[in-house]
Structure 1
Amino acid sequence: MHWSNYLEPLARGAWVTIQFTLYSMFFGAICSFAFGIGKLSKNWILRGISIVYIEVFRGTSLLVQLFWLFFALPIAGDMIGIDLRLPPVTAGVIALSLNLGAYGAEVVRGAIEAVSPSQYEAARALNFSSLQTLWRIALPQAIPEMMPSFSNLAIGALKDTSLVSLITLTDLTFAAEQLRNFYQDSATVYTMVLLMYFGMALVLSMAMRLLELSVTRWRGTVR
């Protein structure tokens, strides 16, 4: 069997992997900022919810989270008479996004706390509200500092998408396993998969680097 015959199913799987990566990055970024800022809130309820979320999703395995959403949640729903069955795509995106968001939240929190105290003193001198200080002082300085860590998390998210194959989603890993089982050609199949993951990671790394440069220039314009 020539390697070119493997390319079409692997390409379809790679497209699913790319979509999952983009979805998890988008929703993960929302969770990162929401709970990262929430952990710094003076409201103890928001701070408590943020801390619990971050600790739970950082302290448990992504695989367990994925299985819980897909297999255990429907059982819990049946016990209370509510249909909580999630389609595989939805369960995969939720698990990946929440897991990524928990790690990203700590990046956001750390970057905001790293802003010089003198900046906050200047904001108080200008009579800025807490929200104004966050949006006009803290975030413009903190976001560029977050970008290298977010780049690493994005690459991690790409690799973590391979776990969705375990809930029957036809991503790159699932497609590779099907081909391997059918043709019994592990060396060719997994060499192609390795190269495809590397290529996607390289493109994603370059895209994140361009985004990092854009954010750095943006910070220069808002000073």
Structure 2
Amino acid sequence: MGARSIIGMLVGAIGLLAWFSTLERFRAFMPVLLHGAETTLRITAIASVLAFAFAIIAALARLYGLLPIRWLARVYIEMFRGTSLLVQLFWLYFVLPEFGMSLAPFTVAVLALSLNTGAYGAEVVRAAIEAVPSGQWEASTAVNMTRTQALRRIILPQALILMIPPWGNLFIELLKATALVSLITIPDLTFRALELNSITLKTIDIFTLVLLIYLTISLMLTIIMRGLEGAASRGLARGRVH
């Protein structure tokens, strides 16, 4: 889908939300849902940053670490990709205290989401690094660069452009997965919606607004990632010219 179409959908979603907020039947729900959306955004933002960091570390460890480190990276990736996010969330929240480590619900939510998304992202990072032509490594060796220097100056900047589109999808999946944190008492958007629905039984009204709010946030994420992809591509092109 082109950028104009995405922007058009975003404007339409925001317009619908603005219109609904003027109607009597929806007006009372908007402040509560927007407060929940703020929590959802906070969790998404923090977990996204941590997920990217976990993914980079795990991918580099799997590709270039010593054998024990490679094994640990593989265990992390396969464990979090091969088990349910809901189970991971419950394990951190309900089981970890049995070992004397109690974490706040917000911390559990961010940790579970970032570890889970980071495991998927590690494979994206690994594939992007391996997709950089081998000639780039040979060129860096020819000018006496170390592996670390080559990764930082040549390989990762090129791999980053390849990573951005799949990472955009992962961030959107992370956003949608935040709905699960309502199950550990975090008052996110979904929690607020369920709470309102149990009180008012206005299911159609409430979840129509929730649908539009999630859509608005996901479209904003898509536009941001498209912008980053364009900026990274232009920066790499300028670097090649100079």
CA distance in 2, matches of 1:199, 1:125: 49
Unaligned runs of 5+ in 1: 78-82
Name the structure 1 match of 2:203: 186
CA distance in 2, matches of 1:137, 1:45: 27
Unaligned runs of 5+ in 2: 1-23
Name the structure 2 match of 1:199: 216
Match of 1:95 among 105, 112, 117: 112
CA distance in 2, matches of 1:118, 1:91: 43
Name the structure 1 match of 2:89: 66
TM-score (norm 2): 0.87
Q: Which range moved further: 188-197 or 206-215?
A: 206-215
Name the structure 1 match of 2:8: none
The answer as to whether partners of 1:140 and 1:222 remain within 8 angstroms in 2 is no
Residue type at the aligned position of 1:62: L
Residue type at the aligned position of 2:204: A
Name the structure 2 match of 1:23: 46
Task: Say which SS state the counterpart of residue 169 (structure 1) adopts.
Answer: coil
CA distance in 2, matches of 1:203, 1:41: 35
CA distance in 1, matches of 2:89, 2:166: 24
Q: Which range moved further: 35-44 or 144-153?
A: 35-44
CA distance in 2, matches of 1:89, 1:115: 38
Q: Does 2:51 match 1:14?
A: no
1:60-104 residue CA offsets vs partner (Å, 9 max, x unmatched): 1110000000001111x1xxxxx3011000000000000110011
Task: Return the offset for 1:218.
Answer: 1.9
Match of 1:135 among 152, 165, 172: 152
CA distance in 1, matches of 2:230, 2:83: 33
Task: Return the offset for 1:43.
Answer: 1.2
Task: Say which SS state the counterpart of residue 40 (structure 1) adopts.
Answer: helix
CA distance in 1, matches of 2:111, 2:196: 28
CA distance in 1, matches of 2:72, 2:152: 22
Task: Return the offset for 1:42.
Answer: 4.4
Q: Which range moved further: 4-13 or 114-123?
A: 114-123
Moved over 6 A (4+): none
1:105-141 residue CA offsets vs partner (Å, 9 max, x unmatched): 1000000011111111111222211101111121011
Residue type at the aligned position of 1:161: T
Aligned pairs for 1:144-223 (under 5 A) are 144-223=161-240
Sequence identity of aligned pairs in percent?
Answer: 44
Residue type at the aligned position of 1:58: R
Task: Return the offset for 1:178.
Answer: 0.3
CA distance in 2, matches of 1:219, 1:165: 41
Name the structure 2 match of 1:80: none
Task: Say which SS state the counterpart of residue 86 (structure 1) adopts.
Answer: coil
CA distance in 2, matches of 1:65, 1:26: 19
Name the structure 2 match of 1:119: 136
- Give the paired residue count: 217
TM-score (norm 1): 0.95
CA distance in 2, matches of 1:98, 1:221: 35
Task: Say which SS state the counterpart of residue 28 (structure 2) adopts.
Answer: helix
Residue type at the aligned position of 1:127: N
The answer as to whether partners of 1:107 and 1:146 remain within 8 angstroms in 2 is yes
